[in-house]
Structure 1
Amino acid sequence: MGALTDSRKRLTADHRLPIPSFPPPSPPPPSKRPKLAPFPSSLDPSTSASPPPNPSPQIIHGAAAAASTSNTPGPSSSSIPACSPLPNRRRLPPPPPFKRPIHGPQRVLRAFRFDGPARPHAAGPSWSSPPAPPPRSLGLEQYVELVSSVSHPAPPTPTTIPDAAREKEAVPLEVVAIEEDGDDRKQQDDEEVVRGSVVVRRVPLYKELYEASSRKRDAKLKTLEFEVRLAEEGRLGLERLAEVLPRISPKEEVPEPFVPLTDEDEEIVREALHGRNSRERLAVHEPSNIVITREILQCLNNQEWLNDEVINLYLDLLKERELRQPSKFLRCHFFNTFFYKKLISGGYDYKAVRRWTTKRKLGYSLIECDKIFVPIHKEVHWCLAVINIKDKKFQYLDSLGSMDMKVLRILARYFVDEVKDKSGQQIDALSWKQEGVTNLPLQENGWDCGMFMLKYIDFYSRNMDLIFGQKHMRYFRKRTAKEILNLRAE
């Protein structure tokens, strides 16, 4: 080997160091264009080792690294003369790339309502395309999807889902078998449709058999079934008893003050209260000389105030009822609505009412009575005062719940004077208890005070508790009208 010259040093350095990019040399003029060199032979080591013309810095750098690390025999870079220019040779074409697979229309397999893997056409795969994956079998997810589609089907169509499946779509089903219909496969628009029949069971057969055998051997279940049958028979027996009981048991008696009116009585009362001729005489009470016309009786219509004629006639009818059945009612005296006004006219005046209670007129003395009823009229409101001789007390009843002690003191003074005048006895009635009756049935409007007062008198004369209320007032108005028309209190 000779000495390493500058040219060789520079060439060696060019192979080892990256060469900065510079514009490629201009091509030679057309007149001096060299001829094309023959295609280098792969067997000629001198030509195979020569680099291509105008190499890029990266290619030169890579070739230098390969030459430095390669162990294969061949001419080194030192064998190329430093002063001789690189020969211009024809560029070799790049190696052909790997062929890409042909993307053509593909056919999608639709079985059991899921999309399977895409399969290429049967045109034959390319030598460089990867092999197509094998068709996947029905996996767990597809099986669950299949079962779900059977248990919860899509909106029904006339050909796929019957009405029974739509009604019981919420019931969990068990897929027992899938029977394929053989050649019943149809291909439309490059899609495969698999038609088959699915045999399903709501409950597995083994569960049905197990539950049936358990019910036969379960003693508690037998006991419960017996109790259910016994309760059912008892219920049927009670229903039959409810049908027969009204026939064998007496009907509950309605208290006499609440006996309903018959249809005939309802019609008579309706005609009397709503007739056209207001001056028609409907009832004439000869003992008291009271004439009841339709105009007077119409105060018993709903929302009307009671007048003196109706109240006084009804009190006379109550006295006649007592005389008819003395053992059934208390012995009472009923003052009319004018008594208290006469007694207090111009102050207390016993002489104004002294003749009202003679024994010749009444047939009895007031001292012989159990109770004495005194109607109290306060301008637009009716109240009741009771001289309770049986219990030795004076009572005041107001359907509005008020109290007037002045009325009770006046009646106490009157009763002392009355007993002294008629029998000559001196009683200490001023020491009797004077009270306002509590727990009274009260009125809930502004026109039923007179009817409440009459019913206080009616129930006390029967020796009954005051068990009525505002809801009975319509009935009491009709019943009072009926009794006045018949001139008979019941």
Structure 2
Amino acid sequence: MGALTDSRKRITADHRLPIPSFPPPSPPPASKRPKLAQLPSSLDPSTSASPPPNPSPQIIHAAAAAASTSTTPVPSSSCNPASSPLPNRRRLPPPPPFKRPIHGPQRVLCAFRFDGPARPHAAGPSWSSPSSPPPPQPRSLGLEQYVELVNSVSHPAPPTPTAIPDAVREKEAVPLEVVAVEEDGDDRKQQDDEEEVVRGCVVVRRGPLYKELYEASSRKRDAKLKTLEFEVRLAEEGRLGLERLAEVLPRISPKEEEVPEPFVPLTDEDEEIVREALHGRNSRERLAVHEPSNIVITREILQCLNNQEWLNDEVINLYLDLLKARELRQPSKFLRCHFFNTFFYKLISGGYDYKAVRRWTTKRKLGYSLIECDKIFVPIHKEVHWCLAVINIKDKKFQYLDSLGSMDMKVLRILARYFVDEVKDKSGQHIDALSWKQEGVKNLPLQENGWDCGMFMLKYIDFYSGNMDLIFGQKHMRYFRKRTAKEILNLRAE
């Protein structure tokens, strides 16, 4: 019985019989041998189409004994009595069609029945009927075949391309990938050449939405794109006509600062003329003669306009006459003013006597009355320092301007007394000028050295007569000295 049991187990192991079931059973443990399995129906003599030809009595006897001793039929493809050394004992089945490996048992994957060509059996008698074709022998499913089968189920092969009518193709058109559906209210126009394409009822975007948003934001931050957009817009404006270009240029070009008239730089020719006049060799050469005031300007007198020099009476008085001529030349641009010369205050400051200066301001001589003016300028000379006093008739106050920041109320009281006498003498009117405000002008541009007081006084008069704010300072004094020399040489204030 031991030999019989071993033979049965060996037979069952040698015939790799697949079980037609799904999913595949788990393989038996390596430490146990596989249990007995039934023989395939192809080896069952009751279901065979053709019995084996001329069976010998020994074979029939062995088959009957095997059937009586076990409920499970023992498969045998052929029994050759000549090959067995013991004819009276049960013979072993023929060797399997495939050789077994010697080193160990062979595992069989019995997951699926794979229909294919039948395995060739060993030479021997067959129990199948000669009239019916031999049944297909099941073949074991290896790892490569199993992977191929799984791929064929999960990823079916694409159908062979065939000619499909256009109508059927339009009905079966399905979008490949839906990335985003976008609705923008009024901007829902969809065109074939734009980024959105309509296929069926789903809007398919050709690119991811995050890429479009990133590109849009990068275009907004890109300075080169902004410059390019501006150039395109400028070209479009240019097509409408050159007359619109004047409206576009102010928006893109910085506005040039207009240089005020008192600070217009001198030309190279003027610079050369002034340099020659101030630094020539002949100091007694006449450079300018002002006939209305009978003032003659020589090089020696004009050289007081050099840097670090004090201004003299001739230069100051001539320049005040030029300012009056400028006012008469452009009355709409300048205030109506009167300019006393440097000797006026000297006559009334020692001991006040109105009769000493009464004939200075006759209407026949001036052509106007002082009461008709807006401002009256009085130069004040204090031994080595020049100051300015202003009778501001327009604002009804007396003002004192000192480039050193000091104040002298005595000067303003004397001028108030003089103005009351002057109005009463020339027009017969009595005004209460003594009650006008007397003040020292604050926030004045002050000198920062010991020789520019005369130049500051002239510029106070120049700016006030033009109704301008005092917007100059110490840094402009060199320029003002050259400009004053130029205006005196030309006998024309600008």
TM-score by length of 1: 0.51
The 1:485–1:217 alpha-carbon spacing in structure 2 relative to 1, beyond 3 Å, is: closer
Tell me the percent identity: 95
The 1:133–1:259 alpha-carbon spacing in structure 2 relative to 1, beyond 3 Å, is: farther
Counterpart of 1:318? 323
CA apart distance, 1:454: 0.2
The 1:54–1:413 alpha-carbon spacing in structure 2 relative to 1, beyond 3 Å, is: farther
| Cα contact 2:377–2:461 (8 A) shared by 1 | yes
Deviates more, 1:402-411 or 1:171-180: 171-180
Superimposed CA distance per residue, residues 30-81 of structure 1 (whole angstroms, 9 cap, x where no aligned partner)? 9999999999999999999999999999999999999999999999999999
Tell me whether 1:178 sits opposite 2:181 in the alignment: yes
Point out where structure 1 has 5 or more consecutive residues left out of the alignment: none
CA apart distance, 1:254: 1.2
Q: Distance in 1 between matches of 2:28 and 2:145?
A: 72
The 1:249–1:124 alpha-carbon spacing in structure 2 relative to 1, beyond 3 Å, is: farther
The 1:331–1:60 alpha-carbon spacing in structure 2 relative to 1, beyond 3 Å, is: farther
The 1:315–1:226 alpha-carbon spacing in structure 2 relative to 1, beyond 3 Å, is: closer
Deviates more, 1:139-148 or 1:451-460: 139-148
The 1:265–1:65 alpha-carbon spacing in structure 2 relative to 1, beyond 3 Å, is: farther
The 1:68–1:212 alpha-carbon spacing in structure 2 relative to 1, beyond 3 Å, is: same
| Cα contact 1:296–1:309 (8 A) shared by 2 | yes
Q: Distance in 2 between matches of 1:168 and 1:26?
A: 47
Q: Secondary structure at the match of 2:423?
A: helix
Superimposed CA distance per residue, residues 76-95 of structure 1 (whole angstroms, 9 cap, x where no aligned partner)? 99999999999999999999
CA apart distance, 1:219: 20
| Cα contact 1:357–1:365 (8 A) shared by 2 | yes
Q: Distance in 2 between matches of 1:388 and 1:401?
A: 19
Greater than 4 Å deviation, 4+ residue runs: 1-251
The 1:425–1:294 alpha-carbon spacing in structure 2 relative to 1, beyond 3 Å, is: same
The 1:438–1:212 alpha-carbon spacing in structure 2 relative to 1, beyond 3 Å, is: closer
Q: Distance in 1 between matches of 2:81 and 2:133?
A: 50
The 1:456–1:5 alpha-carbon spacing in structure 2 relative to 1, beyond 3 Å, is: closer
Q: Secondary structure at the match of 1:199?
A: strand
| Cα contact 2:288–2:489 (8 A) shared by 1 | yes
Q: Secondary structure at the match of 1:314?
A: helix
CA apart distance, 1:349: 1.0
Q: CA RMSD in A?
A: 19.4
The 1:232–1:351 alpha-carbon spacing in structure 2 relative to 1, beyond 3 Å, is: same
| Cα contact 1:174–1:203 (8 A) shared by 2 | no
Deviates more, 1:289-298 or 1:108-117: 108-117
Q: Secondary structure at the match of 1:32?
A: coil
The 1:10–1:186 alpha-carbon spacing in structure 2 relative to 1, beyond 3 Å, is: same
Point out where structure 2 has 5 or more consecutive residues left out of the alignment: none
CA apart distance, 1:344: 2.6
| Cα contact 2:18–2:112 (8 A) shared by 1 | no
Superimposed CA distance per residue, residues 419-460 of structure 1 (whole angstroms, 9 cap, x where no aligned partner)? 000001000000000000000000000000000000000000
The 1:8–1:202 alpha-carbon spacing in structure 2 relative to 1, beyond 3 Å, is: closer
| Cα contact 1:108–1:192 (8 A) shared by 2 | no
| Cα contact 1:173–1:203 (8 A) shared by 2 | no
Counterpart of 1:142? 145
Q: Secondary structure at the match of 1:31?
A: coil
Deviates more, 1:324-333 or 1:138-147: 138-147
Q: Distance in 2 between matches of 1:58 and 1:378?
A: 166
Aligned length: 489
TM-score by length of 2: 0.50
CA apart distance, 1:413: 0.2
Q: Distance in 1 between matches of 2:5 and 2:143?
A: 78
Q: Distance in 2 between matches of 1:358 and 1:15?
A: 153
Q: Secondary structure at the match of 1:79?
A: coil
Q: Distance in 2 between matches of 1:3 and 1:483?
A: 146
Q: Distance in 1 between matches of 2:208 and 2:12?
A: 87
Q: Distance in 1 between matches of 2:184 and 2:448?
A: 85
